Amino acid sequence: MRARAATVGDLENVFRDLSKRISDEYVAAGKDSKIAYDNLMMNLKEGRAHALVQGEKTVALIAWHENSDAADTLFAAQEDFFSAATVRFCKRHIRHIQALAGNLPIHSRSWLHRPDVAKWFRVIGYVERGQENGAKLFELPPAPAA
Q: Could you tell me the pLDDT band of residue 146, with boundaries at 50, 70 and 90?
A: low
Its domain, for residue 24, covers 2-140
Q: What's the total number of domains in the chain?
A: 1
CATH number of the structural domain spanning residue 87: 3.40.630.30
Per-residue model confidence (pLDDT) at position 130:
93
Q: How far is CA 120 from CA 56, 89, 112, 126, in A?
A: 25, 12, 13, 9
Q: Is 109 helix (H, G, I), strand (E, B) or coil?
A: strand
Structural domain includes residue 65? yes
Structural domain includes residue 13? yes
> What's the predicted TM-score (pTM) here?
0.92
pLDDT (tens digit per residue) in 70-123: 999 999 999 999 888 888 899 999 999 999 999 999 999 999 888 888 898 999
Structural domain includes residue 50? yes
26-30 LR contacts (CB < 8 Å, sep 24+): 28/111, 28/112, 28/134, 29/109, 29/111, 29/134, 29/135
Q: In this predicted structure, which of 16-25, 78-87, 134-143 has the lowest mean pLDDT?
A: 78-87
Structural domain includes residue 96? yes
Q: Where are the alpha helices (DSSP H) in 8-103?
A: 8-16, 20-28, 33-45, 84-100
Inter-helix orientation angle 115-124/84-100, to 10°: 60
Backbone angles phi, psi at 128, to 5 degrees: -75, 130
- Dist. CA 11–CA 41, nearest whole Å: 8
Structural domain includes residue 105? yes
Structural domain includes residue 70? yes
Structural domain includes residue 84? yes
Structural domain includes residue 145? no
